[in-house]
Amino acid sequence: MQITANNPELTSWVEVPPGSDFPIQNLPFGIFKTRYLSAVAGVAIGNYVLDLVYLHENGFLDGLGLPAGIFNQKYLNNFIALGRKPARAVRNRIAELLSVGVDDLQRNVAAREIALIPMSEVQMQMPVFIPNYTDFYSSEEHATNVGSMFRDPKNALLPNWKHLPVGYHGRASSIVASGTNIHRPKGQIKLQESEFPVYCPSLKLDFELELAFITCKENSLGTHITTNEAEDYIFGFVLFNDWSARDIQQWEYVPLGPFLGKNFGSTLSPWVVTLDALEPFRVKGPEQFPHVLPYLAVEGNKNFDVNLEVLIQPDKGEATTVCRSNAKYLYWNVNQQLAHHTTNGCNIQVGDLYASGTISGPSPGSFGSLLELNWNGQRPLQLANGEHRKFLEDGDTVIIKGYAEKAGVRIGFGSCVGKILPAL
């Protein structure tokens, strides 16, 4: 029987609760630890993690040509470097093993008990080692909002914005796994009322709602990747919170761009949702006008209909949803981002992370940062516990969630969580 994981008809003998992010059609890859296991690779199904090391060592993945020990590693880099085709074969084999009517694993009680670990018993780790991190600025609504606030609403977009996907090189070393606390950064801030800057904890700490992709293949220095080739290089996607200290950022960024207002921490969701799993959720992106240069031209649907939301949970009190957006709004798609990134011959590496930039939608409730949601402090948000927020306070936890949904199939990302602790 040839089973493809994307088949919406498939059901699993592993219980998948309604509304779960991880049905059999998803099968995202991640790295997990337990009390008994050091970091190894796994796949999410319902409320369980499937241990890929156990499956591989016990013959359940035979015939796929996988190198020995490929899952017994603290990062997915060597696995994803095999390429999208081998990863697709693994995902399809897992879908087969987990399918109703396929007995190999289901009827092998001893194997099943070891291979399926309740999510409540695992600690998710960084899924990949990230050699390089790039942050784009691909949401027209976000760029327009920021341009309107800080420059001129009539000329909110700078002249280059519709001709190229603007981006900058971020810092990879401070990207952390979901659940890692973030200390409020200190830095140089220029208060409006004073002539000279001060050094103090940021007063304008913000989140940025982003989706990021991870590359699984490299190009050699001097060569470029076309928009048509780009998808061979893209393994999958994660949710990304690009924490930002707006006051540090505003004072430092001229003329070279983002630096210490950004590199104190960024948070990644732990499950890498494959590009394959998102195939059914492709949609057309916004019309691009003026027409892009030929090296940025794409054919077909290159955007993804992924619902995104951000919640803020204060130290005392329940979480409040403060933003609902969607990745489909992005003006520049991932094919264009990767083609543009390498058009000068820049070499990309396995495990590199490319974030979309803040994903804002057209309506005020869909803005992907506090800066926009409260319009630079002019309209503080009210939380469910009655408190107001202009920017994040110590003790606030920011939770980003994301999922695509169609025909009863929900491909979720889990959540990307980080709590703000006082400055050190």
Residues lying near Mn ion in the complex (CB under 5 A) are found at: 135, 208, 242
By Cβ distance, which residue is nearest to Mn ion?
242
Alpha-carbon gap, residue 381 to 298, rounded angstroms: 39
Alpha-carbon gap, residue 317 to 299, rounded angstroms: 47
Residue 274 or residue 369: which is nearer to Mn ion going by CB? 369
Alpha-carbon gap, residue 277 to 402, rounded angstroms: 14
Residue 270 or residue 357: which is nearer to Mn ion going by CB? 357
- Minimum distance from CB of 136 to Mn ion (Å)? 8
Q: Are 320 and 312 in contact (CB under 8 A)?
A: yes
Residues linked to residue 188 through DSSP beta bridges, in sequence order: 199
- Minimum distance from CB of 7 to Mn ion (Å)? 36
Let me know if 56 is a catalytic residue: no
Residue 166 or residue 278: which is nearer to Mn ion going by CB? 166
Could you tell me the CA-to-CA distances from 23 to 19, 363, 404, 405, 415 in Å, in that order?
9, 31, 12, 11, 15
Alpha-carbon gap, residue 405 to 411, rounded angstroms: 6
- Minimum distance from CB of 34 to Mn ion (Å)? 33
Q: Are 258 and 170 in contact (CB under 8 A)?
A: yes
Q: Are 116 and 30 in contact (CB under 8 A)?
A: no
Which entry of 56, 142, 340, 341 is annotated as an active-site residue? 142
Cα 210 to chain centroid, rounded: 6
Residues linked to residue 12 through DSSP beta bridges, in sequence order: 99
Q: Who contacts 386 (Cβ-Cβ below 8 Å, separation ≥6)?
A: none
Residue 51 or residue 135: which is nearer to Mn ion going by CB? 135
- Minimum distance from CB of 331 to Mn ion (Å)? 15
Residue 92 or residue 178: which is nearer to Mn ion going by CB? 178
- Minimum distance from CB of 254 to Mn ion (Å)? 17
Q: Tell me which residue of 302, 306, 335, 349 sits closest to 80, measured CA to CA.
A: 349
User: Would you name the residues annotated as active-site residues?
Assistant: 142
